[in-house]
Amino acid sequence: MKKADVVVIGGSAGGIPAAISCRRRYPEKSVLLIRKEEQVLIPCGLPYIFGTVGSPEKNLIPDAMLKNNGIELTIGEVEEIDRDKKVVSIASGETVSYDKLVLATGSLPVILPIPGVDKENVFSSVKDVAYLSNMLDKVNKSKGIVIIGGGFIGVEFADECKKNRDNSVTIVEMLPHCLQLALDEEFCIEAEKVLIERGIKVLTNKRVKAILGNKQVSAVKLADGQELKADIVIIGVGARANTELAEKAGLQIGPTRAIAVDRFMHTITDPNVFACGDCAEKYSFFSGKLSRTMLASIAGAEGRIAGANLFDTRYRNCGEIGVFSTIIGEQAFGCAGLTEGMARQEGFDVVTGEATAPDRHPGGIPGAALTKVKLIFSRDNGLLLGGEVSGGRSTGELANIISACIQHMMTAYEVSLFQMGTHPALTASPMVYQLVNAAELAVKAMAK
Amino acid sequence: MKKADVVVIGGSAGGIPAAISCRRRYPEKSVLLIRKEEQVLIPCGLPYIFGTVGSPEKNLIPDAMLKNNGIELTIGEVEEIDRDKKVVSIASGETVSYDKLVLATGSLPVILPIPGVDKENVFSSVKDVAYLSNMLDKVNKSKGIVIIGGGFIGVEFADECKKNRDNSVTIVEMLPHCLQLALDEEFCIEAEKVLIERGIKVLTNKRVKAILGNKQVSAVKLADGQELKADIVIIGVGARANTELAEKAGLQIGPTRAIAVDRFMHTITDPNVFACGDCAEKYSFFSGKLSRTMLASIAGAEGRIAGANLFDTRYRNCGEIGVFSTIIGEQAFGCAGLTEGMARQEGFDVVTGEATAPDRHPGGIPGAALTKVKLIFSRDNGLLLGGEVSGGRSTGELANIISACIQHMMTAYEVSLFQMGTHPALTASPMVYQLVNAAELAVKAMAK
């Protein structure tokens, strides 16, 4: 029987950082990472295979990350965990004993409980190279694609599947707006406008009743009776924690149907078994309540905590802030923390500030994109609760600045004095730097 | 005699934010801004007039910023301040009484004390439209430009003056490397490499002895005897605080030859007179020692503090962190806080971490640029002291994330758990996100 100090099950956004973090903190410990995939796809890159990137093979996480950090790799499916003996069994028959175990088994796409979802040419974001290669072939030949779900995944699939193709692409969203779970209404409307300009049909407030066709899909039927012709359907309505192995091992599953963990990423059930990433239960940074947000970046932070805590408790998970960004055509959107709507729902007395300026200066400089920042503060104590951005390519890192300010519990007063560097070709001008101006306007509003 | 609650003297990076901040905090107060320039240039945009932007008229700060915030504007030169009577006198003969006065008179280029600096076609970064228009005409006709000084301004002038022109551009720098006062050696070498690739000659460790020629410049003579042919010389060796008016008014000038101010931006001499921006004395965020760093972004932060403190003391200036960014060709450089070299000079026991990754993911995605982040921490307490970045267009905002982390006194442990959002087209992948990985490697190094 093989032996490793640490066994990590899962080789993506949670497992890799957990393994690396362990090797960095405990260089004397041996780490074996077991994953079932021959090749691992970059999870957030899946939609981009269909336009910008061009093939699943160009969207892989290189195994060099493991080798360079002295992590052993076994490809195979773990079928069982014997927690008493501290041994995992792989489908090949191999067994490995561990001292500490990390579960990073990720998530699976949610399958809608509607008739016809099992028809040919109904796809979802399955993280498998062969599956995606087949899907790409079909998308290339398709004339009509219906995408069910207008969240980030749905919107990104729509934009990418439309690129350089003479086809029809339609998003069907149940809620009043696309991206509504991540952005305030005004940003959602802006995003929908860009989608429509790019030739994508956007149907909101619509429920899907059935997927029609014989063997293959031919149309999508909505609850209002409307039928949308389609030779391909892509379902992007979210993901559920992959807990099969954990359940089999008798580990407690929490109310969000993910593996129950404490703030140190130990499973509630077994102090020698850790879980991180999409398969592990999450808490909101703001309320401490259970959260269903799944992001590769959260998986990474959790993986780092798990890896660092394996043999000594070093880090506490502060809970997920939720930082997203995306781009539709050349218009990027980002957010960190709570939207105004979410903050009000949580009962905060909210003050917002908003500022718009070009992301380069002077505004007429080539490549400048008008970029808007909205910040959300608690009136009571001035704390930054969240922010949203729409604009040019710096939007992703602007959302990350907001995240840094949230994470360190900055107030509007502090953000209004933020010392940023500025440069004509790289940022807004110092006088109109959006983050600072949005905060100053919020301070003004608080004074009222 | 005219009357205003607040008079701001100076209409650029310090004065405008001071005026706006005052109006936002004290909407009942009247604010009059007096400046001598008909049109105000974006200060950090000056070099870009010569390549990317194309003319001084395209590099102006719009007066709408003042109007929209209810700030009155007078164009004229203030000749005298009577602090007893609280009255300023303008060259036109007009006088204005004030309750609070803000000096934001900025800086002037340092003139080198060498023979020949007064010859025709010797320029510096003078913030004046007519001056720059003439300079642009000359640059367009020039065959040989010598730039004295390889700091940010010198490097930017060099890159811009070379663009789309068949000319020879040479930088002469006294120190062993260009940009050495802002970046560690390895980044300076990288920047010099890019300059050279772009056809710019870089002479370091060279002192200028004289500027030769008759009426017009014909060559630059170095201390080692070498003569560089030139029909234009641009001097970019720094700036000095413009304190003429303040001195005349009997305000104390500090050891760095800027107006002495306290942490609330009051002048030391007169609690009703504030100063901010390049004309005001600065302190380092790290050591509290006097600092000579002048940046439009620092001026903005100081202006906001001054404006907010005019009638109640609200904000304390934490001192300047120093956040810069620039771009040479398509290679951007940024820094926030102390470099490794500066930190060691200050006596810190330093630990660094460095991580390089493409700024999009997968790495092969169009437009991806390899981006390096180096972070500098104090070994003793883990505090982040500084960071440097080189890479793609997000470099400016990445430096700003580092600034946010410095400003809130994050440790390596905290930065290694930073919750960033990631997106294929906008950021590095979550697994290789440079800031987090650099911090984690520093934590590893600390454990040794």
- Residues B309-330: tens digit of each pLDDT: 999 999 999 999 999 999 999 9
Tell me whether A223 touches chain B (CB under 8 Å): no
Six-digit token pair at A22? 């362990």
Q: Which DSSP symbol is given to B153? A: H
Q: How far apart are the first and last CA of chain B?
A: 70
- Contact between chains at A325 and B421 (C-beta distance less than 8 A): yes
% of chain A with per-residue pLDDT over 70: 100
Chain B CB contacts of A361 below 8 Å: 42, 44-45
Kindly determine whether residue A399 and residue B419, on different chains, have CB atoms separated by under 8 Å. no
For chain B, the average pLDDT equals 96
Tell how far CA B298 is from the center of its chain. 8
Confidence bin at B335 (pLDDT 50/70/90): very high
Nearest residue in chain A measured CA to CA from B402: A401
Average pLDDT, chain A: 96
Q: Which residues of B, range 388-447, sit inside 8 Å of A by Cβ?
A: 393-401, 403-405, 407-408, 410, 413-414, 416-427, 429-433, 436, 440-441, 443-444, 447
Candidate from B401, B408, B418 with C-beta closest to A397: B401
Q: Which pLDDT value is given to residue A383?
A: 95
> Hey, are the CB atoms on B431 and A321 less than 8 Å from each other?
no
Contact A361 B42 (CB under 8 A): yes
Residues 61-80 of A with CB under 8 A from B: 61, 65
**Mean pLDDT calculated for residue range A53-70:** 94
- Tell me which chain B residues have a C-beta less than 8 angstroms from the C-beta of A420: 297, 323, 400, 403
Domain boundaries, chain B: 2-36+44-106+240-309, 111-237, 323-447
Chain A residues whose beta carbon lies within 8 Å of the beta carbon of residue B430 = 13, 17, 44, 295-297, 299-300
pLDDT at A127 over 80: yes
Q: Is the peptide bond before A424 cis (omega within 30 degrees of 0)?
A: no
Instruction: Please write the tens of the pLDDT for every residue from B128-145.
Output: 999 999 999 999 999 999
For domain B2-36+44-106+240-309, the CATH class is: alpha beta
**In a mutagenesis test of the B interface, which of A294, A419, A422, A437 is the best target, namely the one with the most B β-carbons within 10 Å?**
A419
Q: Is the predicted pLDDT of residue B354 greater than 80, yes or no?
A: yes
Rounded distance between C-alpha atoms, residue B159 and residue B152, angstroms: 11
Q: What is the pLDDT of residue A164?
A: 92
CATH 3.50.50.60 holds for B111-237: yes
- How far is Cα B390 from Cα B88, in angstroms, rounded to an integer? 47
Q: Which of B361, B400, B413 sits opposite A45 (nearest CB)?
A: B361
Does domain B323-447 sit in CATH 3.40.50.720?
no
Residues in A 320-379 with any Cβ partner in B closer than 8 A: 320-321, 323-327, 332, 334-336, 361-362, 364-366
Which residues of chain B have a CB within 8 Å of the CB of A354? none
DSSP state of A49: G
Do B421 and A436 count as a contact with CB atoms less than 8 A apart? no
pLDDT at position A352? 98
Pairing of strands A273-275, A200-203: unpaired
Q: Which CATH architecture has domain A323-443?
A: 2-Layer Sandwich (3.30)
> Rounded mean pLDDT of A5-12?
98
In B, residues 20-39, which contact A (CB 8 Å cutoff)? 20-21, 24-25, 27
Q: Which two tokens stand for residue B53?
A: 């932007």
CB B56 within 8 A of CB B49: yes
Q: Which residues of A touch B52 (CB under 8 A)?
A: 365-366, 424-425
Question: Measured in whole angstroms, how far is the alpha carbon of residue B291 from the centre of its chain?
Answer: 13
The arithmetic mean of pLDDT across residues A197-209, rounded, is 97
* Architecture label for domain A2-108+240-309: 3-Layer(bba) Sandwich (3.50)
Q: What is the DSSP letter of B320?
A: B
When pLDDT is averaged across residues A178-201 and rounded to a whole number, the result is 97
Q: What is the rounded CA–CA span in Å between residue A34 and residue A10?
A: 6
The pLDDT score that the predictor gives to residue B349 is 95
Query: Which chain B residues have a beta carbon less than 8 Å from that of A336?
Result: 421
* Closest C-alpha among B400, B35, B19, B283 to residue A440: B19
Flag whether pLDDT at A448 surpasses 70. no
Residues of A in contact with B366 (CB under 8 A): 52
Angle at A298 between CA A297 and CA A302, to 5 degrees: 120
pLDDT of residue B364: 84
Indicate the pTM of the whole model. 0.92
Q: Does the beta carbon of A315 lie under 8 angstroms from any beta carbon of chain B?
A: yes
> pLDDT tens digit string along A246-283?
999 999 999 999 999 999 999 999 999 999 999 999 99
- What is the per-residue pLDDT for B192? 98
Mean pLDDT of A315-326: 95
Q: Report the share of chain B in percent with pLDDT over 90.
A: 96
Interface-testing mutation among B53, B60, B423, B443, with chain A (most A C-beta atoms within 10 A)? B423
What local confidence, expressed as pLDDT, does residue B448 receive? 66
Instruction: Check: CB of residue B26 under 8 Å from CB of residue B311.
Output: yes
Note the pLDDT tens digit of each residue in B39-78.
999 999 999 999 999 999 999 999 999 999 999 999 999 9
| pLDDT(B366) > 90 | no
Q: Which residue of B has its CA nearest to A305?
A: B417
Indicate if A111-237 has the same CATH topology as A2-108+240-309: yes
Residues of B with Cβ-Cβ distance to A60 under 8 angstroms = 362
Task: Specify the DSSP element, H or E, that contains B273.
Answer: strand B273-275
- The distance of Cα B343 from the centroid of its chain, to the nearest Å, equals 20
Task: Give me the interface pTM, i.e. the ipTM.
Answer: 0.89
